[in-house]
Structure 1
């Protein structure tokens, strides 16, 4: 960890914070989710760098130490596709491996679909390929208290989060989202009300980790993260042929609440996902939560490295 280098790089008009480790000729670019940041990939960066790869993790625009867009409400998840391509250009990387977690899987997949010449292979954790736009989402089948539904409503999450300091918001979300149950609030509750104050942090997530996350969200706030992904989740982006032709690996924790989203488990286990990602391997982690890469880092590191080592660039 102490050897990770940090810098800011100008990409598509924004100054992005980038963490980098390793000098290998093959680059692995890590794409975080929410409530995460570059730091979520700390274990994986060290492992792939030690295996001869160049590990790059960055804060998406509007997150952490990266620059804020002037009008976040106009941004969509497809802006992050351009950001990934711009980052590769800034580092003179012709083709890279992409590793995406949570919503970071979406711009990763969309980059691979629209620009396969820039992506050697893609690995995602917890999220399979989903057709962009409303066609790929069945969130409306969940109750109105579903956390994504709540957070899509302008002002709702802002009011909920404002009752707490940033560190408490991150603690609450991390603890809630480590459960196997989908976060759904009752009509008289907000999402933060679901948190049980007596519940400790997950054993694999330290107070030091929490403080690192909190310090970065104190810098960025939640304005952009609520827009991307939550309030732009149904934008289709004009992707006419949503097919990923490059080799892909999906790592799915069986205790990840996301597997309980309507139709998701059947979509994965039946192989229907392979109509969009034909060259897909799927690995299940029986006790894996939504944060499986932090929960079982050694196991996930080995799966990632074994997959990368089979590929050619």
Structure 2
């Protein structure tokens, strides 16, 4: 970890916190989800660098040590697409591999669809291709109104819920809740934080030191931007009517990932319908994997990532 270099690089007028290790000719850019940050890729950064690649993870704008935009309420997932390409430009990288987890998969896929000349291939964990826009919210209509995304989209509600706790407790609660196989859904008289059982231990693969690191980064940024992007901007149209991701792609799914219980998601993946949009997609399941499969089983995920990268690099 001490060999990872940290810097701030200006992209689209904002200084982004960038973590980097390795000096190979091919670059791999990692895209975090929520409540994650660059640190979520700690295992993958080192493994990929040791395999001869230039490994880069950064905090998206408004997250961690990266600067916030002036008006977060106007931000969408499409701003992160521009940010990914802008970061490649700032680092003088003509083409890179992208690895996206959770919502980070979405701007990764969109970047590959809109800028295929800049993307060698894409790997995603936990999320298949989802096009932001009104149709993406249909999933909410088939889940109880206490569904966590529905709750977090409601202005002020998550702020009040999270505000009852310190930042470290919010991160602990979400990591513990969301590492289970059930979709987090609150009852009418509950908030999402109320679903956490105080007697529940941290997941065995998530240490107190990891929790401290996450908390220290979110104490810097807060949750304001994270609630806007992705949750409150999912329904924003981006002008893509029939996107295609034609670059080689790999989807790694934990069999115990609660996302598979979202309406239509598992059928979309297992039926192969997702390949209508991502035709060159390989899908690999990890039997006991949760939504945080890359932290839970880092050696297995590292192996899958490196084997896929090496196949494209021949």
Which range, TM-score by smaller chain?
over 0.9
Residue of structure 1 in register with 2:245 after alignment: 244
Q: Cα deviations across residues 81-122 of structure 1 (Å, max 9, x unaligned)?
A: 000000000010000000000000000000000000000000
Please tell me whether the aligned partners of residues 16 and 59 of structure 2 are also in contact (alpha carbons under 8 angstroms): yes
- Give the total of aligned pairs: 313
Q: Taking structure 1 as the reference length, what is the TM-score of the superposition?
A: 0.99
Name the SS of the counterpart of 1:78 in structure 2.
helix
Q: Cα deviations across residues 192-217 of structure 1 (Å, max 9, x unaligned)?
A: 00000000000000000000000000
Residue of structure 1 in register with 2:48 after alignment: 48
Deviation of 1:140 after TM superposition, in Å, equals: 1.6
Gaps of 5+ in 1: none
Gaps of 5+ in 2: none
Q: How does 1:1-313 map to 2 (within 5 A)?
A: 1-137=1-137, 138-312=139-313
Deviation of 1:134 after TM superposition, in Å, equals: 2.2
Deviation of 1:221 after TM superposition, in Å, equals: 0.3
Deviation of 1:13 after TM superposition, in Å, equals: 0.6
Please tell me whether the aligned partners of residues 136 and 234 of structure 2 are also in contact (alpha carbons under 8 angstroms): no
Deviation of 1:169 after TM superposition, in Å, equals: 0.3
Structure 1 stretches of 4+ with a deviation exceeding 4 A read none
| CA distance in structure 1 between the partners assigned to 2:218 and 2:17 by the alignment | 13
| CA distance in structure 2 between the partners assigned to 1:61 and 1:144 by the alignment | 29
CA RMSD after TM alignment: 0.8
| CA distance in structure 1 between the partners assigned to 2:280 and 2:313 by the alignment | 14
Q: Cα deviations across residues 54-104 of structure 1 (Å, max 9, x unaligned)?
A: 000000000000001111111001000000000000010000000000000
Q: Taking structure 2 as the reference length, what is the TM-score of the superposition?
A: 0.99
| CA distance in structure 1 between the partners assigned to 2:208 and 2:131 by the alignment | 37
